[in-house]
Amino acid sequence: MRYIEDDLKGNTILITGGAGFIGSSLAFYFQHNHPDAKVVILDSFRSGETLSNGNLKSFGHFKNLLGFNGEIISGDINDKGLLLDLEMNYKFDYIFHEAAISDTTALEQDLMIKTNVNAFKDFLNLALEHNANMIYASSAATYGNAESPQRVGREAPNNVYGFSKLSMDNLSREYIKKYNISIVGLRYFNVYGPREFFKNTTASMILQFGHQILAGKNPRLFENSDKILRDFIYIEDVVQANIKAMQPKESGIYNVGTGKARSFQDIVDILQKELGTSLACEYIPNPFVGSYQFHTQADIQTSKDALGYAPAYEMEDGIKAYASEIKRIYETEVKK
């Protein structure tokens, strides 16, 4: 679906983190709907480099870009020389800044702040230099354990990732006040959908439960999973929010969710229906009681007002749309 009327002919669009889940989804949106726009992807791609928790430092994967025919740059957003090259040799109209250390369990506070906050300032300055509209990934992690529904202005991050994203939001507000530039921060809630597989263990529980079920394993849920609720949002609605943020009524920070909280039990029940299984669930004690969000729900009224954002996918719709890809990934990547 096309979300803006403009054809973007002659426009140049930069997507940082473009080999990741959301970045690659945006790249294909432009390729399919605005083929006359020039899309440049910047990503560090994956290497063997890991964080202290054992997770990969970068989740960018070439397979997310199979079929993409725009320009691809491999590089680190912390590289000042790369920033200078982007400033001197391109003229961007829009910058979608998705690149980040996105692992909420990462312990490297220095790397998190350097990559997520300091490099973001460099890209804000690039947007200023090019007079480009900036759309960037914030996160619902800024809210921590704030009570539902989560609203902008009620932040209480409880990890360095959430803190880094809130710092990005504070920085963007500073630039919005000081400069005549369009800046929109999008606080993503629990995103799921095609191209998330290469996030490994940080991929959504929808994908992880789907692969458990396809392997014939009983889905393992925490006790009282019908009472653990999250705002799960399908990737197509995240793309919609990004595209509509290109031409906002007002710069600012906006939630991107469905505005509805659904349970982990719902996920398994809907998956079993779509995958044609009826495996018994196994319930295990929740070791994260006391350090775990039991309810997230985005207040999306300001997102509707300023962006014209209107989520199109209930969880039933999203999982139904995703089911064939869950099966394909299982056959081609998990079973091999």
Distance separating alpha carbons of residues 228 and 238, to the nearest angstrom:
23
End-to-end CA distance of the chain: 33
CB 174 within 8 A of CB 134: no
Distances in Å between the Cα of 131 and the Cα atoms of 79, 91, 96, 254 are 21, 9, 14, 22
Catalytic residue among 94, 143, 161, 234: 161
CB 80 within 8 A of CB 87: no
Catalytic residue list contains 260:
no
Catalytic residue list contains 161:
yes
Task: Look up residue 262 and give its two tokens.
Answer: 């659904």
Strand spans (E) along the chain = 12-16, 38-43, 71-74, 94-97, 133-139, 183-188, 190-192, 220-222, 229-230, 232-234, 252-256, 262-263, 282-284
Distances in Å between the Cα of 307 and the Cα atoms of 58, 142, 174, 252, 310 are 30, 21, 20, 10, 9
- N residues, the chain: 336
Question: What radius of gyration, in Å, describes the C-alpha atoms of the chain?
Answer: 19
Catalytic residue among 38, 165, 199, 244: 199
Distant-in-sequence, close-in-space partners of 57: CB < 8 Å, separation ≥ 6: 44, 47, 49, 50, 51, 101
Per the rule left: phi > 0, alpha: psi between -120 and 50, beta: everything else, 181 is beta
Residues labelled as active-site residues: 161, 199
